[in-house]
Amino acid sequence: MLGKATVGLLFLLLVWGNLVAGLKAGLACPDWPLCHGKILPPFRVDIYMELLHRVLAAVAGGALLVLSHLRFRAYRGGARAVPLLAVALLAGEIVMGGLVVLLELPVQLTTVHFLTGLLIFLLAYYMMAFDGVSSLPAFSARGVPALFLGLGGLVLLLAALGAYVRHAGAGLSLPDWPTSLGGLVPPVLYGGVFIQFSHRVLSVLVLLTIVALYAASRLDPHLGRHRKHARALLLLIAAQVAVGGLVVLTKLHFLSAGLHLAVALAMLLLLERMWILEVRAEEAAP
């Protein structure tokens, strides 16, 4: 129960942070850890959006600490590195969160802050899936599990690049969709145009890879047991491409941007679940 609650809180935290960025409320509380020098500042929508983001971060961080403590006690050997890494990343995330505010949202640091949050989210899901008692922790990066890990890495990179596009102010460098400045390839490739076009190219690469995975699940008996998940993944990436177009056409509306991230998180969770199922099957094999 704690594992599911922690994953749910981190999911909400990441999406809420995206909404804060979409509303340009990241500096509504320009000081840290207080907000305008107070625990409860005067009411204003942007201020309380950012304040609630901090409250969510504190609650989710507390839940992660408790979960990590329980898993550290339950795990044995090298598996104990997972909860230790989660706590270390959480500590770094807290420091970066403060610096992001105090340094007024530097692009690189803000992107790393987001990427670190994604890694913590994935580690929390791992600790939810492997409790160390009924399900012993395991890891595999060969064969079919390596396929899911690699695809998960691509989706992670796509999400991080999307965050960089937003924080670099390049989200509308290509204001049309599905074309890019009126063509398949934009006539110029530098600055914000290059960054956003790279994001679009990577999204097409992820789409084609998932299409290939779904096709393989229909042809290969071993991958056949993942067909249901592969189909869901195909639907998610199709939705992600469509929502990505909506983000552009609505000129970065914060709700469409928040939905865009929520779909990406669902894809990451689904790929991690597929990896976990394959790892468990390997462990159970004679």
Task: Point out the least confidently predicted range of 75-89, 100-114, 125-139, 258-272.
Answer: 100-114
Q: Residues 80-112: pLDDT tens digits?
A: 999 999 999 999 988 888 887 778 777 888 888
Does the structure show a pLDDT above 90 at 228?
yes
Q: Residues 12-22: pLDDT tens digits?
A: 999 998 888 87
Whether 66 and 157 map to the same domain: the answer is no
Whether 228 and 238 map to the same domain: the answer is yes
The length of the chain is 286
pLDDT in the model for residue 285: 67
Whether 150 and 107 map to the same domain: the answer is no
Does the structure show a pLDDT above 80 at 283?
no
Whether 91 and 167 map to the same domain: the answer is no
pLDDT in the model for residue 286: 64
Whether 153 and 87 map to the same domain: the answer is no
Whether 85 and 33 map to the same domain: the answer is yes
From 115, 137, 159, the end of a domain falls on 137
Whether 128 and 162 map to the same domain: the answer is no
Apex CA 8: angle with CA 85 and CA 121, to 5°? Answer: 25
From 137, 167, 182, the end of a domain falls on 137
Whether 248 and 132 map to the same domain: the answer is no
Structural domain containing residue 77: 1-137
Q: Please enumerate in sequence order all residues whose Cβ is within 8 A of that of 21, keeping only pairs 6 or more positions apart, or say none.
A: 166, 167, 254, 257
Whether 57 and 76 map to the same domain: the answer is yes
| Secondary structure (DSSP) of 218-229 | HH-TTGGGGHHH
Whether 168 and 277 map to the same domain: the answer is yes
pLDDT in the model for residue 25: 72
Instruction: Taking residues 185-214, report their average pLDDT.
Output: 91
pLDDT band at 49, cuts 50/70/90?
confident
Whether 157 and 286 map to the same domain: the answer is yes
CA 65 – CA 250 distance, rounded (Å): 39
The fraction of the chain above a pLDDT of 70, given in percent, is 99
- As to burial, measured by CB atoms within 10 angstroms (0-12 exposed, 13-18 middle, 19+ buried), residue 113 is buried
Whether 125 and 188 map to the same domain: the answer is no
From 137, 163, 189, the end of a domain falls on 137
Q: 203-211: long-range contacts (C-beta < 8 A, 24 or more apart)? A: 203/158, 203/240, 203/241, 203/244, 205/154, 206/151, 206/154, 206/155, 206/158, 206/237, 207/237, 207/238, 207/241, 209/151, 209/154, 210/151, 210/234, 210/237
Cα separation values, 102 from 36, 66, 163, 165, Å: 12, 29, 19, 21
Structural domains in the chain (count): 2
Does the structure show a pLDDT above 90 at 238?
yes
Could you count the other beta carbons within 10 Å of the beta carbon of residue 86?
A: 25
pLDDT in the model for residue 170: 82
Please check whether residue 65 is in contact with residue 9, taking contact to mean a CB–CB distance below 8 angstroms. Answer: no
pLDDT band at 35, cuts 50/70/90?
confident
Higher pLDDT, 41 or 227: 227
pLDDT band at 8, cuts 50/70/90?
very high
